[in-house]
Structure 1
């Protein structure tokens, strides 16, 4: 599992980013891919994921002066912002657009590509938002329990419980055995 690793110059980079666009660009380049994967797995299509990442960095830029190091890596702060943006986007989509079961846009133009992965991603989005967030951070982003707990503001025990419940529900919905104790 990935451990929390903060680049030695990241704290200085974050501090400079408030007044130096090049420093903010460096932070963007360091974190954009991970945030995009997080958003894509949660939202299920390229355009919404790109919008969510854009909104995340826009909010990060706007509120950068409020970020305090306090032992929490900058990327965790970004994931917290992204989680809020994604949650609002998912809520909006549920109100405005009926979900089509089994359809998942990979950005390739072929929504039927990789059916096993796509079914899992579609099933993942049927879980409660807290379980989705924990499972994507833990198993797609490969973050440690401690990191997921920091990002979500929950205890490690709560993260384990959410992950266990989410995985159990996914197994049941996929027809892979019953609940595992």
Structure 2
């Protein structure tokens, strides 16, 4: 949607403002592109065009693609309600082991997912699995991978998706494929 805003005075020259809407339909100005005829004049900037004897005055272009990084992150945070999509999340997954007996397998799962290029943490504390899962949910991890003796024996993980109570059992290769598919969907 393009709209001419004649009352909006720009000091340097004509400009284009790009606004985005958040989840509550509020408009925020993000990117701006603006022509500047004043600074080249003030700094006595010139260049030689095709006719090298003739000097031309350049026009500067000011651009701020995201407006400000802070503003863009504020809009993203509000839009996603602090629950980042997998491709942007600093907390993509966490491996939670049920007991010390499954620690070796938990480290293997962690290493394989990390080697696939994903941000994955591991909870090796001696707390109960319920506390580990609850803390991971509060930290907004996209995926919680629970591993115990049963999962170590089968070579799989119990997968919990953020904001869903149901668990599925998947192989590590399937988990990595799921992550890759989810990231590819945003590109």
- Tell me, yes or no, whether TM beats 0.5: no
More strand by share: 2
Q: Which protein is bigger by CA-based radius of gyration?
A: 2
TM-score of the pair, normalised by structure 1: 0.26
* Structure with greater contact order relative to length (CA < 8 Å, sep ≥ 6): 1
